[in-house]
Chains A and B, each alone.
Chain A
Amino acid sequence: MSNNDKMTGVQLACVMYSTVLGTGFITLPTTSYQYARNGLWLTMFPGILTALISMGCAVKLSRMYPGLSPVAYIKRILGRIPGFLVGLLLFLFCLQAAGVTVRQYGDFVTGSFMNRTPLTFVIASIALLAGIAVRCGAGVIARSAALLTPIFVLPLLLLVLLYPHLEFRYLFPPLERGIVPVLKGSLTPQAWMSEVYLISFFLPRLASGVKIGRWAVASIAAIVASMFYVNLFSILLLGPDTGSKLVTILIAFRYINVADFFENMEAFLLAMWVVGNFVKLAVFYYAASMSCSELFRLRDYRLIVFPVGILILIFSIWDLPSFAIVAEQNLLVAPFWVPTMMAVLPGLLVIAASIQWRRRSLQSRPNG
């Protein structure tokens, strides 16, 4: 009966979609606009490359080491002590990323909706829910992600109601300052998209016979399409104002007004935001717990889930005095730091592993 705990392709795609876009919808348009200006709608496309690299490495490594989660094969590839150190780095990365995710969530909720609720409470409550999900296992995260994804995606369709306010002249002149600003603007989106590598924590639980490649490409396509859609609407609606808004999509939802009756739709945005962040947090949380458990070769990762949760809470406020610092971090550090861990490191691992495999097959050939 245990085969029911295996994930299906759709679940995998849902998990990836929310992992990247959980915070993406809020952060990316504003951040990218600062470089790309009216080329904002193009900024998602260079990220496809990073996403494909991360995803390719995840799939490749999971085929080379079937059934092993990342820290386990890192140890296998790099040897005991270097493997431990790199694994520790991955663990810290997951903790820190989870902390920043939950912090962004908390800042947004307290800043835009619940002004009088303490930040710690908002953060701790969602961390508790995510902790319960992580404790229930990968299957439950996948199933709940599949159930929650409609709540996450459907509110986006409301943006269509904005069509009377759209100004197509904001798109012109296209690429007025060349391609470089667009490339700069795409640094943050590609960092976000490299997070699809986290799927490698779930690949060992994938049902056999699932065509990973197809679902991976489908989810990347869905991510790019949704982000393109949101970016396009941001730029068409707000034009040069996009950069000055803290959360573009929130402004967009406030603009919606149909027949003076359907207005102030930002409640849907809150629903979307909570759900998307929950999935994203659960994925990072699961990755952190699994890494820690593999790092010390624990028998059962579930024991350390809640202690890891406390560390995530600490990382969500440690050295982050204000929302501005978090935004600066997203702008200046994340574009390099995240892809280093999520695309460069897996790439190096693939190279190291294939060298090892080749050497091993060369060694075994003369003998056998």
Chain B
Amino acid sequence: MGKWFFWEVAIAAVIIAISEWKRLQEQPGKDRIVFLALLLAGAVLSFLNLPDTPGPTSVMAYVFKPLRPLVEP
């Protein structure tokens, strides 16, 4: 995955931005900011080595650790 994924996401983000450009012009400022922020978040996250970066799975595993004995066979 690695670098390739970043480029895939980046290209997708650019395509999305271009295709939505017209619609973007009609929207109020807040909508535009949210739109760009989401795209940027995607691009930044995709730069990491995602599968091995601690993230939501680790967080939830930590949060629900006390309940684990219930389900361990």
- Residue A168 at the B interface, CB < 8 A? no
Q: Are A317 and B20 in contact (CB under 8 A)?
A: no
Q: Show 25 residue pairs from A and B whose CB-CB distance is below 8 angstroms, ordered by the A residue.
A: A120-B1, A120-B5, A124-B12, A184-B73, A300-B31, A303-B27, A304-B34, A306-B20, A307-B39, A310-B13, A311-B38, A313-B9, A315-B56, A317-B51, A318-B51, A318-B57, A319-B53, A319-B56, A321-B51, A321-B52, A325-B57, A331-B71, A333-B57, A335-B71, A336-B64
Chain B positions 15-71 with a Cβ under 8 Å from a chain A Cβ: 16, 20, 23-24, 27-28, 30-31, 34-35, 38-39, 41-42, 45-46, 50-58, 60-61, 63-64, 67-68, 70-71
Sorted from nearest, which 10 A-B pairs have the closest CB atoms?
A319-B55, A307-B38, A310-B42, A319-B57, A321-B51, A306-B16, A318-B55, A318-B50, A307-B39, A333-B60
Please indicate the chain A residues that have their CB under 8 angstroms from the CB of B46 in the complex.
310, 314
Please indicate the chain B residues that have their CB under 8 angstroms from the CB of A329 in the complex.
57, 60-61
Complex CA gap A240/B35 in Å reads: 51
Knowing A292-B38, A298-B34, A306-B20, say if A314 contacts B45 (CB, 8 Å).
yes
Per-residue interface assignment for chain A, residues 21 to 45, with 1 indicating a CB less than 8 Å from any chain B CB and 0 otherwise: 0000000000000110000000000
Contact for B27 among A35, A300, A313, CB less than 8 A: A300
Give 8 new A-B contacts, CB below 8 A, not counting A297-B30, A333-B61, A336-B64. A120-B8, A303-B31, A304-B34, A310-B16, A317-B1, A317-B5, A333-B57, A335-B71
How far is the CB of B48 from the nearest CB of chain A, in Å?
Answer: 8
A residues at B contact (CB < 8 Å): 34-35, 92, 96, 120, 124, 184, 187, 292, 296-300, 302-304, 306-308, 310-311, 313-315, 317-321, 325, 329, 331-333, 335-337
Q: Are B73 and A35 in contact (CB under 8 A)?
A: yes
Q: Are A307 and B35 in contact (CB under 8 A)?
A: yes
How far is the CB of B31 from the nearest CB of chain A, in Å?
Answer: 5
Contact for A298 among B13, B30, B42, B70, CB less than 8 A: B30
Query: In terms of DSSP, what is the predominant structure of the interface of chain B?
Result: helix
Please indicate the chain A residues that have their CB under 8 angstroms from the CB of B55 in the complex.
318-319
Complex CA gap A308/B55 in Å reads: 18
Complex CA gap A314/B28 in Å reads: 27
Q: Are A299 and B28 in contact (CB under 8 A)?
A: yes
Q: Please, which residue of chain A has its CB at the minimum distance from the CB of B36?
A: A307
Complex CA gap A302/B45 in Å reads: 22
Knowing A120-B8, A310-B39, A317-B50, say if A303 contacts B24 (CB, 8 Å).
yes
Complex CA gap A67/B71 in Å reads: 39
